[in-house]
Amino acid sequence: MIGSLGFSELAFIFVLALLVFGPRKLPEIGRTLGRGMAEFRKATNELKRTLNTELALEENPVPPAIRPQIRPAEPPREVVARERAADPVEAVEPQAVDPHPVEPQ
């Protein structure tokens, strides 16, 4: 970009900018342009990196990870039988309940 401009062209642009913006504003404008160019370069590099990553993933897709199915541990049957025997609610057998009880008169 700057390589195509000669010394005389650069000197002319500098003198013109000095006349238009003045000596106090010129350093501020230069800093702003430098920051803008740095941001542009940073964004361009990030875009290149993202595109290269996407292209690499398309060429060599990563197989999905196989996850083992984990089931909760079941207690031994003897423990379950002992717990049921110790439970007073299950020890009582259900009795038939009349859905229409007759009240004494």
pLDDT tens track for 6-31: 889 988 988 998 888 888 888 898 89
Q: Are 85 and 91 in contact (CB under 8 A)?
A: yes
Question: What local confidence, expressed as pLDDT, does residue 14 receive?
Answer: 87
Alpha carbon distance 24, 18 (integer Å): 9
Cβ proximity of 84 and 90 under 8 Å: yes
Model pLDDT for residues 32-61, shown as the tens digit of each residue: 999 999 999 999 999 999 999 888 888 776
Of 4 and 76, the structure prediction assigns the larger pLDDT to 4
Backbone Cα Rg of the chain: 42
Q: CA 11 to CA 6: how far, in whole Å?
A: 9
Positive or negative CA dihedral for 69, 73, 78, 80? negative
> Where is pLDDT greater, at 20 or 95?
20
Q: What angle do CA 8, 12, 14 make, to 5 degrees?
A: 115
Q: Is the pLDDT of residue 90 over 60?
A: no
**pLDDT at residue 31, rounded to an integer:** 92
pLDDT value, residue 32: 93
